[in-house]
Chains A and B, each alone.
Chain A
Amino acid sequence: MVQVNVNGKQHSVDAESDMPLLWVIRELIGLTGTKYGCGIAQCGSCTVLIDGEAVRSCSYPISAVGTRKVTTVEGLASNGKLTKLQAAWVEHQVPQCGYCQSGLLMAVTDLLNKKPNPTDADIDEAITNICRCGTFQQVRAAIHAAAKA
């Protein structure tokens, strides 16, 4: 059994040591907000935070997580209250199909932790997630709005 802390809760999971964190979260713990998109850390749909750092969980074996704390999209809001980033996402109507949005929100959370007032160039460099619906203009607007909120 492997111990893993997700969204402040300790889980004991029966996972192979090479099982990627994504599948531990989705299939063993049952939190499905974190998505599978490519399996090779290209698209960012599976992005979670490990001790506050954005990580593409599809390519991150559970054995490498250790005692560090994992945060998924379900762990952003507390007691149902959306974070200012999530609120900006709603206000700017960012999601279209919505599939890639969890990963985007986690990548942006990491960016705003490091750079509370990111420039357009900072956003260009940090946010490399793929959104096939192409809602990028709203992503950029919502990041700036959240930074100002």
Chain B
Amino acid sequence: MTSNTLQKANSFDATRRSFVLGSTALGAGLSLGLSLPGAALAQMAVPLKTPNEVDIWVVVKPDDSCVIRFVRSEMGQGTRTGLAQLVAEELECDWAKVSTESPTAGQNIARKRAWGAMSTGGSRGVRESHDYVRRGGAAARMMLLQAASDQFKVPVAELSVSKGVITHAKTGKKISYGKVAEAAAKLTPPDAKSIVLKKPQDWKIAGKALHKLDTADKTNGKKVFSIDLKLPNMLCAAIKQCPVFGGKLVSFDESKIKSMRGVKGVVKVNESAVAVVADTWWRAKNALENLPIDWDLGENAKVSSSTISNALTEGLNAEGDFWQRKEGDAPTAIAGAAKKVEAVYTSTFVAHVTMEPMNCVVKLSKDSAFAWVPTQNAEISLAALSEASGVPLAQCDVQTMDLGGGFGRRGGTQDYVHQAVAIAKNFPDTPVKLVWSREEDMTHDFYRPISKAKMSAGLDDKGNLVGLSVRVSGQSINAFLAPSAIKNNKDTRQLQGFYEEAGDAQLGYTVPNLLTEYVMRNTHVPVGPWRGVNTNQNGMYMECFIEECAKAAGKDSVEFRRSLMSKHPKHLAVLNAVAKKSGWGSPLPAGVYRGVAQFMGYGSYSAAVAEVSVSSSGEVKVHRMFFALNSGHFVNPSVVKAQIEGSVGMALSSVFNEDITIENGQVKEQNFTNYPVARLKNIPKVECVLVPTFDFWGGVGEPTICVVGPAVVNAIFAATGKPQRELPLRKHGLTLI
């Protein structure tokens, strides 16, 4: 697919399109003659309006079971359970009777997007939904109470409710939610804005470490991912894209594979991809491997990792107007300082490699299109489905399937949906499941962008930081996916974490003379958001360099940071919390060294301490890691801790191991053999301290990933006396064991 179609999909804004999705269109989506395993049905489209739908968020059935609906995607981050906890908290229902449903993209639009945004990225799942889902739960509670009040003929103020049972204390009358739901559903909902929400200290369901709602089926094989769907007469497709990004498909010789078992057809998917369709995926993939294909690799075939590296280095030294923060005069302050510190850091392209490879199921008919998509944004998937199929948007629908990993790969980039539709066009009225091989997945990702950073600092004769200059040279995600987000030729997203503005990704240090610059150096390699996005690289650059400055100043790592943080009390508080939790400064076993880092992303404040030993042959053991996180509120502390632990695995993997390299314009790494990722034995013991301040709502899935790497790298510096400035570390003599 081309970047042009991506941008179109990206700029889709459902609020600007005036249409109403009628029952006919929805019926078309629902009458596809599906035969699905039971668990898949649970994820299937819910009817638009049922008699016991109290409000859009809450359905109470006669047996008192509560179905809570929302539209954010679930990919293991626990948003399903967290949002259900928030609704249930205000609803005052019995948590043991709660289940959830995911309305389709079409249903959300048909209700004028009443469920809100479907986009599930940027750690937004809870932090940007908490207010309206709680109001939805509270409104449903008020309607249920009013219905009971009408039935008992008593004032609503005399009623109380606990675990879905309404009591009138004066008369001793009791009635459960299930008995009044149908009457409640007929009432006019209260004005959501007038509702007073509970205070977190009064929470009984939210804020608690409850078990997630969807765990059991993930232990017994019942969980159905999109890749597992099996529909009547379904065909399976395997795809091969041009190895060089931007190259073209010239021709293929289908006569060579036409007679292979199960093969139903060979399809030109678009100008740079071909697919084989067969009765099973294994047969499709087998045939594809035997298909002679002629590619026009194009000009990009001349590009390699070394040419990209040279372009980035040129950017580090280029003349021009690149600044984003300019406070005081950093170059002069540094030039005149008693001591100068300078370092150049590099990071590489990194792949998502979700364990469930890219896939999508599509069924196209004459006037309708339906897709089952593991997507982080079903509305973008819907736009892609309509655009690629030519079927009007109102006659398309998308069911979000729980994702086997997302990490940013399956949000704005709906390449696999476009492809599945292009293939399915050749097989009308037949469901087609496109599945990428791991090799396609690894070689056609939207990678975490490559960059280098030139860092300079000046220290006065007392070791105080008087000037700091940061120049990042590298590829821009926005230039590839959302060019309109770049204003005045300055792409602020690439300096995520260095911002002056409070609230999202603010730099936690105050330096009298500060300069930050971003020099855009784009490549032909597709890039996109990867869990933590640019905080990964920028956190490494800043926190490893601050460590070098602390060493040059002869100061303790935590003390040096504290001296820069008096104007950033929330950043400082998590640093102090992790220092305390880790026993910073206390003796360690022989050969074990500590490193520390703090950074901000996704509206939350994170700090980490790592305990590391390094053998003479460069084997690195990360023994323990400590984290402090202030995300304002916590809806489920055990889910939060799981997200922190998970961020450790992904960060250590990328810092030590992961490296997507380019040779002759193509990605060299094809599978886990030459793209090694961290495994169980590599993972340290993780201890977390959660320090909520209850005055904001920050993210959870991404904020901590950016402090893992620098804490570990700084511990390695402490152990070896040598700073590490180039990732991944395994290519510089250090092996994670």
Residues of A at under 8 Å CB distance from B?
16, 19-20, 23, 26-28, 30-40, 42-43, 45, 72-74, 76-77, 82, 86, 89-90, 93-102, 105, 123-125, 127-140
Known: A90-B211, A99-B356, A134-B653. 13 other contacts (CB 8 A): A20-B282, A27-B236, A82-B220, A96-B78, A97-B76, A97-B405, A99-B404, A128-B680, A129-B679, A130-B677, A132-B354, A135-B645, A137-B645
User: B interface, how many residues as a size bin?
Assistant: 35 or more
Closest approach, in angstroms, between the C-beta of A125 and any C-beta of chain B?
7
| Interface hit among B84-92, B185-193, B222-230, B479-487 | B222-230
Closest approach, in angstroms, between the C-beta of B355 and any C-beta of chain A?
4
B31 at interface, CB cutoff 8 A: no
**Which chain A residue lies CB-closest to B223?**
A98
Give residues 445-465 of B contacting A (CB, 8 Å).
none
User: What are 22 pairs between A and B in contact, CB < 8 Å?
Assistant: A23-B282, A26-B228, A27-B280, A73-B221, A74-B220, A77-B220, A82-B220, A93-B212, A93-B642, A95-B218, A97-B76, A97-B356, A97-B402, A97-B404, A97-B405, A98-B402, A99-B354, A128-B681, A137-B645, A137-B685, A139-B680, A140-B680
**Inter-chain contact B220/A30, CB cutoff 8 Å:** no
**Inter-chain contact A42/B673, CB cutoff 8 Å:** yes
Task: Report Cα–Cα, A130/B355, bound state, in Å.
Answer: 8
Closest approach, in angstroms, between the C-beta of A55 and any C-beta of chain B?
17
Known A98-B76, A102-B221, A132-B405; contact A35-B673, beta-carbon cutoff 8 A: no
Known A32-B221, A128-B679; contact A45-B355, beta-carbon cutoff 8 A: yes
**Inter-chain contact A138/B220, CB cutoff 8 Å:** no
Task: Report Cα–Cα, A63/B143, bound state, in Å.
Answer: 63
B648 at interface, CB cutoff 8 A: yes
Q: Mark B326-369, 1 if CB is under 8 A from A, else 0.
A: 00000000000000000000000000011111000000000000
**Inter-chain contact A133/B76, CB cutoff 8 Å:** yes
Closest approach, in angstroms, between the C-beta of A11 and any C-beta of chain B?
15
Task: Report Cα–Cα, A95/B680, bound state, in Å.
Answer: 14
**Inter-chain contact A99/B225, CB cutoff 8 Å:** yes
**Which chain B residue lies CB-closest to A85?**
B219
Give residues 121-156 of B contacting A (CB, 8 Å).
none
**Inter-chain contact A134/B671, CB cutoff 8 Å:** no
Task: Report Cα–Cα, A96/B31, bound state, in Å.
Answer: 32
Closest approach, in angstroms, between the C-beta of B81 and any C-beta of chain A?
10
Closest approach, in angstroms, between the C-beta of B490 and any C-beta of chain A?
34
B407 at interface, CB cutoff 8 A: yes
**Which chain B residue lies CB-closest to A125?**
B681
**Which chain A residue lies CB-closest to B437?**
A39
**Which chain A residue lies CB-closest to B403?**
A97
**Inter-chain contact B357/A36, CB cutoff 8 Å:** yes
**Which chain B residue lies CB-closest to A26?**
B228
B324 at interface, CB cutoff 8 A: no
**Inter-chain contact B645/A100, CB cutoff 8 Å:** no
**Which chain A residue lies CB-closest to B705?**
A134
Q: Which residues on A sit within 8 Å (CB–CB) of B647?
A: 134
Q: Which residues on A sit within 8 Å (CB–CB) of B356?
A: 35, 37, 97, 99
Q: Which residues on B sit within 8 Å (CB–CB) of A99?
A: 225, 354-356, 404-405
**Inter-chain contact A124/B218, CB cutoff 8 Å:** no
Q: Which residues on B sit within 8 Å (CB–CB) of A102?
A: 221
**Inter-chain contact A123/B405, CB cutoff 8 Å:** no
**Which chain B residue lies CB-closest to A103?**
B355
Q: Which residues on A sit within 8 Å (CB–CB) of B648?
A: 134
**Inter-chain contact A96/B77, CB cutoff 8 Å:** yes
**Inter-chain contact B76/A95, CB cutoff 8 Å:** yes
Q: Which residues on A sit within 8 Å (CB–CB) of B219?
A: 73, 82, 86, 89-90, 94-95, 101, 105
**Which chain B residue lies CB-closest to A134?**
B649
Q: Mark B621-633, 1 if CB is under 8 A from A, else 0.
A: 0000000000000
**Inter-chain contact B646/A135, CB cutoff 8 Å:** yes
Q: Which residues on B sit within 8 Å (CB–CB) of A135?
A: 642, 645-646, 649
**Inter-chain contact B215/A93, CB cutoff 8 Å:** yes
**Inter-chain contact A124/B404, CB cutoff 8 Å:** no
**Inter-chain contact B650/A134, CB cutoff 8 Å:** yes
Closest approach, in angstroms, between the C-beta of B711 and any C-beta of chain A?
16
Q: Which residues on A sit within 8 Å (CB–CB) of B261?
A: 16
Task: Report Cα–Cα, A97/B647, bound state, in Å.
Answer: 14
B686 at interface, CB cutoff 8 A: yes
Task: Report Cα–Cα, A148/B641, bound state, in Å.
Answer: 24
B438 at interface, CB cutoff 8 A: yes
**Inter-chain contact B437/A124, CB cutoff 8 Å:** no
Known A90-B211, A95-B218; contact A136-B680, beta-carbon cutoff 8 A: yes
Q: B680 is contacted by which of A20, A27, A123 (Cβ under 8 Å)?
A: A123
Q: Which residues on B sit within 8 Å (CB–CB) of A139?
A: 680
Task: Report Cα–Cα, A136/B679, bound state, in Å.
Answer: 8
**Inter-chain contact B220/A130, CB cutoff 8 Å:** no
**Inter-chain contact B355/A43, CB cutoff 8 Å:** yes
Closest approach, in angstroms, between the C-beta of B293 and any C-beta of chain A?
19
Task: Report Cα–Cα, A52/B450, bound state, in Å.
Answer: 45
Closest approach, in angstroms, between the C-beta of A30 and any C-beta of chain B?
6
B115 at interface, CB cutoff 8 A: no
Q: B218 is contacted by which of A26, A45, A98, A136 (Cβ under 8 Å)?
A: A98
**Inter-chain contact B353/A93, CB cutoff 8 Å:** no
Q: Which residues on B sit within 8 Å (CB–CB) of A72?
A: 221
